Amino acid sequence: MTTATAQITAKQRPGDRVFSGSAVFAGSMILVTLAAVAGFLLIQSLPALVASNEDASILDSNFWAYVGPLVFGTVWAALLALVMALPISIGIALFISHYAPRRLASVLGYIVDLLAAVPSVVFGLWGIGVLAPAIQPLYSWLVDNMGWFPLFAGPVSGTGRTILTAAVVLAVMVLPIITAICREVFLQTPVLHEEAALALGATRWEMIRIAVLPFGRPGIISASVLGLGRALGETMAVAMVLSATGAVTFQLLTSVNPSTIAANIALSFPEAYGINVNVLIATGLILFVVTFAVNALARWIVSRRKEFSGAN
Amino acid sequence: MSKRIEVRDLNVYYSKFLAVEGVSLEIEPRSVTAFIGPSGCGKSTFLRTLNRMHEVIPGARVEGEVLIDGNNLYDADVDPVLVRRQVGMVFQRPNPFPTMSIKENVLAGVKLNNKRISKSDADALVEKSLQGANLWNEVKDRLDRPGSSLSGGQQQRLCIARAIAVSPEVILMDEPCSALDPISTLAIEDLIEELKQDYTIVIVTHNMQQASRVSDRTAFFNIAGTGKPGKLIEYDDTTTIFSNPSVKATEDYVSGRFG
Amino acid sequence: MTTTLTPPELRPAASPIANSLTAGKLPQGAPWMMLGASLLVAAGVFGVVAAGNGSEFNWVGTLVVGAILYIVAIWLFSRIVEGSRRATDRFVTALVTGAFVLAMIPLVSLAITVVTFGLARFDAEFFTSSMRNVTGEGGGALHAIVGTLLMTGTAALISIPIGLMTSIYLVEYGRGRLAQGITFLVDVMTGIPSIVAGLFAYALFAIFWGPGTRTGIAGAVALTVLMIPVVVRSSEEMLKLVPNELREAAYALGVPKWLTIVKVVLPTAIAGITTGIMLAIARVIGETAPLLIAAGFTQSMNYNLFEGRMSSLPVFVYTQYANQGNPPEAYLDRAWAAALTLILIVMALNLIARLVARFFAPKLGR
């Protein structure tokens, strides 16, 4: 019994004490693990924060000049992925929750979930072996015909291994995550609201606009923030697909591309030595902080939503 | 196998909220006592304090005394687990364990406590309990089927069989018929009449006909308004409560004028 | 949601008057015919292009252009015949369906590619030999498969008890600050990028066993960090689904709390918990980056988690692709074969997980 009261102290049996004790222990292990993750990363990062190019060969001047372009690339690629994935995810979620026949809905949901089950290294292999060559002609066409648009400025990459291709692969990878959350939220729309809209003579789309989307808006926002967090930390697909030069540029289709923190670690770590290792760990710490902030934002949105809906 | 219950000046709190205030009553052994009253008047809450089931809800606590044959349930060294072995409970909705067969459900109270029981003893106990719950003839051929395969009324009688298998002194019933159809309700009411021979029975019901049919004594609870504590208004022989109540509110309630 | 009532037999009306309940409506099969026509037009265009410059017929292009044509056509026709509100409705329906089809393109393409490229080296030698002393053709991924099983198994052995007990704590015991804190931190852990987990394991072992230490156990630790939050989350969901009435029924029989959990709550939730655990394993078994960092890679068999580097299937895929030797086809074929193996393992785990959920879940009735 968990109630602590003034006059009663519930007797604890040995079995109860052992069992609840081990449950508390396991819960505390989570605290310890997370503290350890933060602690060890911090300890190993400290030497890098003050290092110069004399200590670490991969630095040009100092650590912050090294990590800056990487942060830019990470955020840029993740945002591009989100911009592509979000509308499609909302569409898929609506299709499954409100358009597809009820009996098919769970099967369709499962098919989309299959995308989430594919390991990222396989996505990387597919991105470089199939997607990049297939999409390169489109890039050439875009540069030739729409090169006036700054994002599509040339010269076009010959391999198709640009930041846009990496972002497409990332979009495919975060799509099932965003879809799954949106689907759940859309399915929770109060039937009363939907029927009220239909009874007013709304078409299906008008019903969705009146009842489903407003109800689901906080869910959509937190889903996209979670998807963003996932895209920020994704490693192998980007490492394999992207042919990075480390530049800071918004151009999507050229062979000059920024790298991302995670991909840079994966590519450089196996050969790293000395302080270079600490530099890479420090970039990992920064990635950790960024994703932590993004996920905390998503959680905050979700908790706000709970207050609104009164459901718990 | 039945005991007298005495409640002395009992207050029940959910955290800071006073849910039931100042209840004192005595319940005789081998009798059926019905608690009636409008929704939210605290009768179920009060019932659950009689075997300390209210403690399952975080923040719930009581002040006052509940004596079973003179022993206070709320003494410092009383183990709620042992209390509940003596004071069984049947819930509003039938809740057989879905992972267990009919037979295992009846033996649940014994088996779950890691007690060893020989196969013949177990079979005897299953038959005795199911017969006690008027269910034996209906399920004796399918004791190994899952408990959830039975109808609602049968499930509720299975839950009663499960409760009497641990040989309690008192059986508390929290609206045991509210989820059942009239025929199943009748079966349960007949069963209550029989169980009275051996057990002290306390039943919460919303159905005043049911209270007048099955109970010897009736307690009427009422609430002054939302947010106010529930109180025991009148406690008397069932016939008196229904024919000649001494309090105006009781008369209004049993004659259907409110609630 | 929509119930159609059969109207009572109408009295013979005096004369049919203008029915205000009907409006212009596209005939039943019209959308399908339009879809077919759009696809045909697109196929025609791409067919001419393909024939013109001798390139391959572009299936994806046909599908995308056909879909765009259809969306425009249905909107136009519906607007003319049915008015703007219906037209918008049909337009959105087409868009939403199109989004689903669009998402299927990478899935189908991926499945076809992995199977066609993967089958080239999906042979007995691949599963019975390592890469030791192999340059060029031949060789296999046995060392990587063994490494994957050892490291994932160890990670599961550590994270299942911790994850399960944590979820029990959160659902059955947790009140107040500690529980809130743990819930929050589990959320934070869910968001840890996998490569950061790898760096953590590397940093941990580097501090105690010197820099450059890469062992199987470090890989397992990295996977554990990724697996625990998934196990906690899914088990927590499942335990919450167990109706409180069952717990109360057990308490009312005088069963202590811990026995109630062990004998009533866990058996009721066990199918869902198993499903969650298998999905968690399926998730970490495909992790590449943390193992690349923490466990490294090797060409030889290594059965010892505590000594020397250890390969794993995903890392094998990556290294075969990244360090291509001569001839490169041999390396790429091995990468695809390993990718196929990995996908088959993950799919099998997913499938078994769903089957467990479907067939072993207790019927809660109601």
Instruction: Quick: pLDDT tens for A139-179.
Output: 888 888 877 787 777 777 778 788 888 999 999 999 998 99
Range of the domain at A69: 24-308
Structure tokens at A102: 């009820």
The answer to whether B99 contacts C249, with C-beta atoms less than 8 Å apart, is: no
Per-residue pLDDT band for C1 (boundaries 50, 70, 90) equals: very low
Asked if pLDDT for residue A4 goes beyond 50, the answer is no
Q: Could you tell me if residue A250 is inside a domain? A: yes
Range of the domain at C80: 28-120
- Residues written for chain A: 312
The reply to whether C68 and C158 lie within a common domain is no
Q: Could you tell me if residue C10 is inside a domain? A: no
Q: Which residues neighbour A80 within 8 Å (Cβ) at sequence distance 6 or greater?
A: A163, A164, A167, A170, A171, A252
Q: Could you tell me if residue C283 is inside a domain? A: yes
Q: Interhelix angle for C266-285 vs C216-241, to 10°?
A: 140
Q: Compute the distance between CA of residue B171 and CA of residue B3 in angstroms, rounded to an integer.
A: 10
Asked if pLDDT for residue B204 goes beyond 90, the answer is yes
The reply to whether C201 and C329 lie within a common domain is yes
Flag the least confident range among A124-128, B187-191, C10-14.
C10-14
Interface of A to B at Cβ within 8 Å reads 1-3, 5-11, 13
Looking at chain C, the whole-number percentage of residues with pLDDT higher than 90 is 11
The reply to whether C111 and C166 lie within a common domain is no
The Cβ of residue C185 has, within 10 Å, a number of other Cβ atoms equal to 18
As a whole number, mean pLDDT of residues C322-327 equals: 82
> Can you tell me the ipTM of this complex?
0.84
As a whole number, mean pLDDT of residues A66-79 equals: 89
The reply to whether C146 and C103 lie within a common domain is no
Domain ranges of chain B: 5-95+169-255
The Cβ of residue C346 has, within 10 Å, a number of other Cβ atoms equal to 21
Q: Does B16 touch chain A (CB under 8 A)?
A: no
Per-residue pLDDT band for C64 (boundaries 50, 70, 90) equals: confident
Per-residue pLDDT band for A90 (boundaries 50, 70, 90) equals: very high
Give the C-alpha distances (Å, rounded to integers) separating B145 from B105, B140, C134, C250: 11, 10, 60, 20
Q: What is the pTM of this model?
A: 0.83
The reply to whether C142 and C201 lie within a common domain is yes
Per-residue pLDDT band for B203 (boundaries 50, 70, 90) equals: very high
Q: How many domains does chain C have?
A: 2
Q: Could you tell me if residue A72 is inside a domain? A: yes
The reply to whether C60 and C162 lie within a common domain is no
Q: Compute the distance between CA of residue C214 and CA of residue C110 in angstroms, rounded to an integer.
A: 32
**Amino acid A86: pLDDT:** 92
- Touching B: which chains, 3+ CB pairs < 8 A? A, C
Q: Could you tell me if residue C163 is inside a domain? A: yes
Q: Could you tell me if residue C60 is inside a domain? A: yes
Q: Could you tell me if residue C40 is inside a domain? A: yes
Choose the final residue of a domain: C120, C151, C175.
C120
The reply to whether C105 and C148 lie within a common domain is no
Q: Compute the distance between CA of residue B40 and CA of residue B17 in angstroms, rounded to an integer.
A: 13
Chain B residues in contact with A7 (beta carbon < 8 A)? 63, 74, 76
**Amino acid C18: pLDDT:** 59
Between C18 and C125, the higher pLDDT residue: C125
The answer to whether B61 contacts A10, with C-beta atoms less than 8 Å apart, is: no
Chain B residues in contact with A11 (beta carbon < 8 A)? 77-81
Choose the final residue of a domain: C120, C149, C176.
C120
Q: Which residues pair with B221 in a beta bridge?
A: B232
Q: Could you tell me if residue C349 is inside a domain? A: yes
Q: Considering only the beta carbons, identify the residue of B56, B85, B86 that sits closest to C248.
A: B56
Q: Could you tell me if residue C13 is inside a domain? A: no
Cβ-contact A65, A251 below 8 angstroms? no
The reply to whether C340 and C246 lie within a common domain is yes
Q: Could you tell me if residue A17 is inside a domain? A: no
- Touching A: which chains, 3+ CB pairs < 8 A? B, C
* End-to-end CA separation in angstroms for chain A: 23
Between A122 and A297, the higher pLDDT residue: A122
Size of interface B-C (CB pairs under 8 A): 84
Q: Compute the distance between CA of residue C65 and CA of residue A51 in angstroms, rounded to an integer.
A: 54
CATH number, domain with residue A207:
1.10.3720.10
Q: Could you tell me if residue C266 is inside a domain? A: yes
Asked if pLDDT for residue A5 goes beyond 80, the answer is no
Q: How many domains does chain A have?
A: 1
The answer to whether C254 contacts B82, with C-beta atoms less than 8 Å apart, is: yes
The Cβ of residue B120 has, within 10 Å, a number of other Cβ atoms equal to 8
Name the CATH superfamily for B5-95+169-255.
P-loop containing nucleotide triphosphate hydrolases (3.40.50.300)
Chain B residues in contact with A8 (beta carbon < 8 A)? 61-62, 74, 76
Q: Compute the distance between CA of residue B87 and CA of residue B163 in angstroms, rounded to an integer.
A: 9
